[in-house]
Amino acid sequence: MPWVRGKYNKGVIYLKGGDVSQEIAEAMGKTGLKKGSVHPWSIESWIRDPYFKEKLAIFIEA
């Protein structure tokens, strides 16, 4: 987050894998993100392939 903060208007999309709940909670605490500004989606819901089973697209609002 610190690398891109202030360099986008509406938000940023990250591609992540695994259980990211703790990582998101830590990032929210460190960066002061508001509750409800982080939106994770399972990539597997778009692409039916076992490779994407634990992969996420995470949109973080600016």
Inter-residue contact 38 to 58 (CB < 8 Å): yes
pLDDT in tens, 16-42: 998 999 999 998 898 888 999 999 999
> Is 1's pLDDT higher than 90?
no
Residue 18 covered by a domain = yes
> Is 4's pLDDT higher than 80?
no
Q: Specify the number of domains making up the chain.
A: 1
Residue 43, domain extent: 11-61
**pLDDT-derived band of residue 57, with 50, 70 and 90 as boundaries?**
very high
pLDDT score, position 5: 73
What is the DSSP secondary structure assignment for residue 24, as one 8-state letter? Answer: H
Residue 42 covered by a domain = yes
Residue 3 covered by a domain = no
Q: Can you give the pTM of this predicted structure? A: 0.77
Residue among 21, 22, 13 at smallest CA distance from 43: 13
Residue 5 covered by a domain = no
Neighbours of 60 (CB within 10 A): 20
